[in-house]
Amino acid sequence: MQNELFGVVAHDNKNDELRTAEEWSQEAQSLRAALHLHAHRYYNLDAPTIPDAEYDRLFQRLQKIEIEFPDLKTEDSPTSRIGGAALTEFSQVQHAIPMLSLNNGFEDEDVLAFDRRVREGLETQGEIEYAIDLKFDGLAINLRYIDGVFTQAATRGDGTTGEDVTENIRTIRSIPLRLQCENPPAILDVRGEVLMFKADFETLNQRQRENEAKEFANPRNAAAGSLRQLDPKITAQRSLGFFAYGIGYLEGAEKPASHRALLDWYRQIGIPTCQESAIVQGAANLLEFYRGIQLRRTQLAYEIDGVVYKVNRFAEQARLGFVSRAPRFAIAHKFPAEEALTQVLDIEVQVGRTGAITPVARLAPVFVGGVTVTNATLHNEEEVLRKDIRVGDTVIVRRAGDVIPEVVASVLDQRPLHTTSFLLPEHCPVCGSAIVKVQDETIARCSGGWLKCAAQRKGGLFHFASRKALNIEGLGEQLIEQLVDKNVVTTAADFYKLGVLGLSELDRMAEKSAQNILLALENSKATSLPRFIYALGIRHVGESTAKDLAKHFRDMDHLMAANEEQLLQVNDVGPVVAQSILHYFSDTLNVELVRQLIAAGIHWPQVEALDLSSAVFAGKSIVLTGTLPTLSREQASALIEKNGGKIAGSVSKKTHFVVAGDDAGSKLLKARELGITVLSETDLLEMCQD
Ligand code: IVH
Percent above pLDDT 90 for the chain = 70
- Please confirm, yes or no, whether 653 is among the known catalytic residues: no
Structure confidence at residue 1 as a pLDDT band (50, 70, 90): very low
| 621-689 matches 339-433 in CATH topology | no
Ligand 1 close to Cβ of residue 245 (< 6 A): yes
- Residue 406 CA to ligand 1 center (angstroms) comes to 28
Convert the pLDDT of each residue in 503-559 to its tens digit: 877 877 888 888 999 999 999 999 999 999 999 999 999 999 999 999 899 999 999
The pLDDT, as a whole number, for residue 571 is: 79
The pLDDT, as a whole number, for residue 402 is: 66
For residue 134, give the ligand 1 atom closest to its CA.
Answer: 15
The pLDDT, as a whole number, for residue 91 is: 93
Ligand 1 close to Cβ of residue 336 (< 6 A): no
Structure confidence at residue 244 as a pLDDT band (50, 70, 90): very high
CB-CB contact of 667 with 651 (8 Å) = yes
Ligand 1 close to Cβ of residue 95 (< 6 A): no
Ligand 1 close to Cβ of residue 332 (< 6 A): yes
> 256, 281, 246, 264: which is closest to 130 by C-alpha?
281
Ligand 1 close to Cβ of residue 274 (< 6 A): no
More confident residue, 311 or 504: 311
Convert the pLDDT of each residue in 559-575 to its tens digit: 999 999 999 988 778 99
Please, what sign has the CA dihedral across residues 298, 301, 306, 311? negative
Fold classification of 339-433 is: OB fold (Dihydrolipoamide Acetyltransferase, E2P) (2.40.50)
* Alpha carbon distance 339, 672 (integer Å): 27
- Residue 140 CA to ligand 1 center (angstroms) comes to 7
Q: Is it the case that residue 9 has pLDDT exceeding 60?
A: no
The pLDDT, as a whole number, for residue 690 is: 63
- Residue 100 CA to ligand 1 center (angstroms) comes to 8
Structure confidence at residue 610 as a pLDDT band (50, 70, 90): low
- 495 exposed, middle or buried (CB, 10 Å; 0-12, 13-18, 19+)? buried
Structure confidence at residue 3 as a pLDDT band (50, 70, 90): very low
Q: Is it the case that residue 10 has pLDDT exceeding 70?
A: no
The pLDDT, as a whole number, for residue 397 is: 93
Q: Is it the case that residue 2 has pLDDT exceeding 60?
A: no
Ligand 1 atom 2, closest CA: 100
For residue 140, give the ligand 1 atom closest to its CA.
Answer: 13
Q: Is it the case that residue 46 has pLDDT exceeding 80?
A: no
Mutation probe of ligand 1 site: the residue of 193, 195, 302 with most atoms within 8 A of C-beta = 193
Ligand 1 close to Cβ of residue 144 (< 6 A): no
Q: Is it the case that residue 109 has pLDDT exceeding 60?
A: yes
- Residue 285 CA to ligand 1 center (angstroms) comes to 21
Ligand 1 close to Cβ of residue 130 (< 6 A): no
Helix/strand/coil (H/E/C) assignment for every residue in 265-322: HHHHCCCCCCCCCEEEECHHHHHHHHHHHHHHHHHCCCCEEEEEEEECEHHHHHHHCE
- Residue 138 CA to ligand 1 center (angstroms) comes to 9
> 317, 323, 321, 292: which is closest to 307 by C-alpha?
292
Ligand 1 close to Cβ of residue 244 (< 6 A): no
Q: Is it the case that residue 188 has pLDDT exceeding 70?
A: yes
Ligand 1 close to Cβ of residue 399 (< 6 A): no
* Alpha carbon distance 535, 157 (integer Å): 58
Count the neighbouring beta carbons within 10 Å of the beta carbon of residue 463: 19
- What is the residue extent of each domain of the chain? 2-80, 97-334, 339-433, 621-689
Ligand 1 close to Cβ of residue 302 (< 6 A): no
- Residue 376 CA to ligand 1 center (angstroms) comes to 32
For residue 137, give the ligand 1 atom closest to its CA.
Answer: 19
Count the neighbouring beta carbons within 10 Å of the beta carbon of residue 167: 22
The pLDDT, as a whole number, for residue 11 is: 54
The pLDDT, as a whole number, for residue 464 is: 97
pTM to 2 decimals? 0.61
Q: At what angle do helices 477-485 and 454-465 cross, to 10 degrees?
A: 140
More confident residue, 664 or 265: 265
For residue 246, give the ligand 1 atom closest to its CA.
Answer: 1
- Residue 666 CA to ligand 1 center (angstroms) comes to 26
Find the mean pLDDT for residues 189-215. Answer: 93
Convert the pLDDT of each residue in 314-351 to its tens digit: 999 999 999 878 999 999 999 988 888 999 999 999 99
CA angle, residues 603, 606, 611, in degrees to nearest 5: 150
Ligand 1 close to Cβ of residue 536 (< 6 A): no
Structure confidence at residue 632 as a pLDDT band (50, 70, 90): confident
Find the mean pLDDT for residues 129-133. Answer: 98
Convert the pLDDT of each residue in 358-405 to its tens digit: 999 999 999 888 789 999 999 999 899 999 999 999 999 988 766 789
> 361, 358, 365: which is closest to 389 by C-alpha?
361
CATH of domain 97-334: 3.30.470.30
CATH of domain 621-689: 3.40.50.10190
Ligand 1 atom 3, closest CA: 245
The pLDDT, as a whole number, for residue 13 is: 56
Ligand 1 atom 13, closest CA: 140
Which CATH architecture describes the domain 2-80? Orthogonal Bundle (1.10)
Convert the pLDDT of each residue in 443-473 to its tens digit: 899 999 888 999 999 999 999 999 999 999 9
- Residue 335 CA to ligand 1 center (angstroms) comes to 15
- Residue 291 CA to ligand 1 center (angstroms) comes to 20
Say which range, 50-59, 103-112, 575-584, has the weakest mean pLDDT.
50-59
More confident residue, 273 or 635: 273
Task: Name the catalytic one among 64, 73, 135, 468.
Answer: 135
Q: Is it the case that residue 662 has pLDDT exceeding 60?
A: yes
Ligand 1 atom 14, closest CA: 245
* Alpha carbon distance 651, 678 (integer Å): 11
Mutation probe of ligand 1 site: the residue of 136, 155, 190, 304 with most atoms within 8 A of C-beta = 136
Ligand 1 close to Cβ of residue 135 (< 6 A): yes
Ligand 1 close to Cβ of residue 32 (< 6 A): no
Range with top average pLDDT, 186-195, 411-420, 432-441, 497-506: 186-195
The pLDDT, as a whole number, for residue 5 is: 40
Q: Which amino acid is at 563?
A: N
